[in-house]
Amino acid sequence: MKLPELGVQKPVTTLMFFLAVLVLGAVMATQLPVDYLPEIEQPTVTVITTWEGVSAEDVESMVTKLVERALGSVNGLEEMTSATVEGISSVTCEFAWGTNLDEASNDIRSNLERIRKSLPDDADPPVLRKFDTSQIPIQFYGITCDESLERLEEIAENEIADPLKRLPGVGAVDLFGGLDRQINIRLDPVRLAGYGLVFDEVAAALAKENVTLPAGNVKVGRLDYTIRVPGEFTAPEEIGGIVIRSSGGALVRLRDVAEVEDGFDEERRLSNVMGRRAIMMMIQKRSGANTVETAREVARELEQNILPTLPRDIEIHQIFDTSEQITLSIRNVSMTVRWAFIFVILTAFFFLRSVRSALIIALTIPFSLILSIIFLWTMGWTINIISLSSLAIAMGMVVDNAVVVLENISSKVEKGTAPREAAMFGAEEVGTAISASTLTTIVVFVPLIFLKGEAGIMFKQLGGLLVATLTASLVCALWLTPMLGSRLLQAPAKRRTRGKFLEAFHAWSEARFDALDAAYSRLLERALRRRWLVVAGAVAIFAASAGLFAGLGSEYSPEDDNGRMMLRFQTPIGTRVEETAALGQRILDVTLAEAGEENVRVYAWRCGQSGWGQGGTHVGHVMLRLVPQTRRTRGMKEIGRAVADVVSRWPEVQKFNVDTSQMGPGGGSKPIVIDVLGFDLDILQRVAEQVLAVVNTTEGAVDAEIGRDPGRPEIRVEIDRVKAAAHGLNVSQVANSVRTLFYGTTATMYRESDEDYDIVLRLDEPYRRTIEDIAQAEIVLPGGGRIRLDSVASVEERLGALEIDRRNQERVIQVTADVFGRSSGEVVRDLRRRLAEEVPLPSGIGIHFGGTAEDQEESFRQMTLMLVLGILLVYMVMASQFESLLDPFLILFSIPFAFSGVAISLTVLRLTVSIMSFIGMILLVGVVVNNAIVLIDYINLLRARGQTLSRAIVNAGRSRLRPVLITTMTTSLAMLPMILSRGEGAATWKPMAATIVGGLTFSMLVTLVLVPTLYSLVHSRRARKREQAAAMKGVLP
């Protein structure tokens, strides 16, 4: 039994089936996880080897190079990069997408095992780390206070972080920027020398005086007593009173040679939120946990259970929350889907002018979409902006099949056929045509299986959902629509009289449609009389649009304004953290003035070493969380550029850049990354400076910088082994003495309320301010004597170890930049040309464009191939449908003009060519031919019925004009909300929607005239050849 027959003859079965689908789909929809984009796991594995105390150059030559050579033969390896700093080698292997990282890790371990004996004996064994998106923070909070600053670290750890760690989905909670309590013992070297004491005596006395030991047990009568000797410090005040030495009844106490302070560790990181000192709190989710649910649980726990128990002066400010961007983006796309549904229904009602017909079309949409939700759940995918965008795109396309079926059924009902018979036969007549039409759209997504990288993961999901949705729409059109038509459509004799408004609207619209049909018929007749003029005009239009395409900018992925700004600045290396903090406050003041405080929800700055082990006391960040872009007059890029123009002129600012990176493709990577490759660092540095000069003078390139720092200033103590040995010292003894004096040593621990705090011995601050203080520091000899450090060592200032980066076993220095005012594609194109002309490369030096420019080049190359394959597959499907090689070729002429429409729409809307617009063009290939298919198919049918070529073209055009308009307008209007939206995530999907709407609309306008004209040219010539052949055959004997 065929689907239309099944639907009409068994309406209850049909209804129950689709209701069951609706219920199951609704349940599955509630269980689908929500995320911003499809899950994208970077196929990278990092090998970290630690060799403490060794210079970067030695680590590179004796560790990094060995590891690189060992890993170069691992299967599936696409690129290898490394970073070497003092004491640490980090080698990152990037594999082909789809590589099984467990197998790759096993290969890496096997290869490392072969070089284990070649590595330095005192180097730690290499450690493997696989990239996991759960390592990326999902939330960032600032914890501030007015009066509880000294206890803030303890409160944050015990009363905030610990409860959050117990929440399901939370993987880690890290705190940084607070005051770490410790007992500071600041020793006076003059007093120590006066009493004849040394550091070791003080440390030993502290350790011996802070002991609690069990002393056995004793049995007294029926009881067994434990003997305990409590000797630990019970209060910090006790520490100063301990006796260091007793001689002849004279006691030397700790307070006599040092100051004891219940204080804090020296601050190397400072944070400020909303104008108050703060601790930063970073939340990471567990691997596999849902971002939105985890963030929601954290926010709920903070609001309901944690904040009410904290001191009143403590506040928690949310600096950023990735779940917020996800939620807002999903909400905005969902809103566009709702508006698309409304526009599609209104369009259907406008053309069909029947409430019942519009209701049938309206019911087709949810059932088609719910089937796609079931497909989404079955595949284990998430609800994200890609899946919702595909539903919005499909919203206008799913009704196409139903419109064709319903229009054919309605025409038969109008001619007097009973609704049941009209439903069955009407659906069967067009079943093959709409199946072929659907197949042409579906087949363009087949090449996506060859697409790799981030774009491949995203668009395979988009293509899969569109295929599932269109297949579901075909099933609904052939099964559900005939059933509803047989029940809801009425024969003309049984219809009730329309109301006055509907009757007037019907008469008015019918007159307008008739006038449009007549005008189109006249236009076709004129076109058929001036066929070559029409062809010439079409060629001119295409040529003009090709010029527009050449003027379009390009970028990897559109950048969305998510309201999160981070300004990163760098002072001269070695700058004290207090100086960096003061500069951060000045930059924040400029930023607030440019953004407008009314547009800023949260602001903060931090400086010093970050929570991820990066940066230093000279590096700072200013962070702002802005109100949504719909409530601002200036975008993040514009605000950041205005701040950069001011701050970059300050002499104390060495580097400054604005980070407005987004989630998804290209997020976190600079649009311009130029790798200068070679082996000699001095030559690489010189070429990198030349490249930087070119970048700085290229229009649109901003915030350019060289990634390699000149090195950190350090005071180096070079020990003379011979002199040290002459005094009975070795290198270890001298180094440990210097470390104890200037870094400090933990002598013992102070316990309070189950918390342990370090008791740290260190020279008092006035004795460790200058290089001379280091040179004059006293070293205790084994015999108890003392000498100055400069007696056995030289003390000098120089630059410390550098970081050495490598790519594919070559040294590399990166020059990075952002773009502003131009597309990244235009800037990269100019840079390639200028670098080739202006920067002569020494032998052995190469330049390679990386970052998003490299991703864009690779994705565009792949997508161009997908486009060509899509066109070829569409042609094959049409050739099979028409059993002709010529007619499908004529239909393909509608595709170039779809691209003309794309160029026009992107130009008018000031958008760029990106991976999103590329996927729109691939989709267009399968959609724009449908109008021409409908037209050519009906022309062939009328010619088969005996009509002349010209009359068949005109009549077919007039008959199929309305279905073509309906399908084009439903698809275009369904995506109109995506073009007009300005909310979160809008920039991501706007180019795709604009591409489809512009291409489909323009192609329809040209196709309605050009394709019939080409058909007339080709088939009239073929007809003349057949007539001439027949005439020749009649003349021959």
Q: Is 812 exposed, middle or buried (0-12, 13-18, 19+ CB in 10 A)?
A: buried
SS3 content of the chain, % helix, strand, coil (to 5): 55, 20, 25
Spell out the long-range contacts of 426-430 with Cβ–Cβ below 8 A and sequence spacing 24 or more: 426/482, 426/485, 427/3, 427/4, 427/477, 427/478, 427/481, 427/482, 427/485, 428/2, 428/4, 428/5, 430/404, 430/405
SS (HEC) of 356-402: HHHHHHHHHHHHHHHHHHHHHHHHCCCECHHHHHHHHHHHHHHHHHH
User: Residue holding tokens 């680590």?
Assistant: 59
Residue pair 541/596 in contact by the 8 Å Cβ criterion: no
What is the C-alpha to C-alpha distance for residues 123 and 88, in angstroms, rounded to an integer?
A: 10
User: pLDDT for 760-779, tens place per residue?
Assistant: 888 888 888 788 888 888 88
Other C-beta atoms closer than 10 Å to the C-beta of 744 total: 21
Q: Under the phi-then-psi rule, with left for phi > 0, alpha for psi from -120 to 50, and beta for the rest, what region is 240?
A: alpha
pLDDT at 661: 62
374 vs 472: CA distance, rounded Å? 11
Q: Which two tokens stand for residue 853?
A: 């420019």
As a whole number of angstroms, the distance between CA 468 and CA 462 comes to: 10
Look at residue 136 in the predicted model and tell me its pLDDT: 76
Q: Nearest-5° angle of CA 901, CA 904, CA 910?
A: 135
The Cα 799–Cα 804 span in angstroms is 15
Quick check: helix, strand or coil at residue 313? Answer: coil
DSSP class of residue 202 equals: H
Taking the alpha carbons at both ends of the chain, their separation in whole angstroms is 55
Percent of the chain at pLDDT above 90?
A: 13
- Cα distance between residue 539 and residue 620, in whole Å: 57
Q: Distance (Å, rounded) from C-alpha 640 to C-alpha 654?
A: 17
- Count other Cβ atoms within 10 Å, centred on residue 363: 17
DSSP per residue over 939-952, as a string? HHHHHHTT--HHHH
Give the tokens for residue 962. 């309305």
Q: How far apart are CA 780 and CA 803, in angstroms?
A: 36
Residues with Cβ within 8 Å of residue 251, at least 6 apart in sequence: 243, 245
913 DSSP assignment: B
Interval 264-298: pLDDT, tens: 877 778 888 998 888 889 998 887 778 888 888 99
Size of the chain in residues: 1037
Which residues, in sequence order, are CB contacts of 618 under 8 Å at separation 6+? 570, 571, 572, 573, 574, 575, 580
Radius of gyration (Cα) for the chain, nearest Å? 38
Task: For residue 169, give every residue at least 6 positions away whose Cβ sits within 8 Å of its Cβ, in sequence order, or none.
Answer: 285, 286, 289, 290, 293, 294, 297
What burial letters (b/e) apply to 153-172, b meaning 16+ CB within 10 Å? Answer: bbbbbeebbebbeebebbbe
8 Å CB contact between 1004 and 892 = no
With a cut of 70, which residues of the chain have pLDDT below it?
1, 53, 132-135, 148, 248, 492-502, 609-615, 661-669, 711-712, 800-802, 983, 985, 1023, 1025-1037
d(CA 161, CA 143): 11
Round to whole Å and give the CA distance between 262 and 175. 22
Domains of the chain and any CATH numbers: 1-31+354-494 (1.20.1640.10), 44-131 (3.30.70.1430), 135-180+267-325 (3.30.70.1320), 182-264+713-799 (3.30.2090.10), 575-661 (3.30.70)
The structure's pTM equals 0.77
- Angle ∠(80,85,91) on CA atoms, nearest 5: 20
Q: Compute the distance between CA of residue 719 and CA of residue 716 in angstroms, rounded to an integer.
A: 9
pLDDT in tens, 826-841: 899 999 999 999 999 9
Give the pLDDT of residue 865: 87
Q: Give the pLDDT score at 99.
A: 81
Nearest to 280 by CA among 588, 598, 617, 612: 612
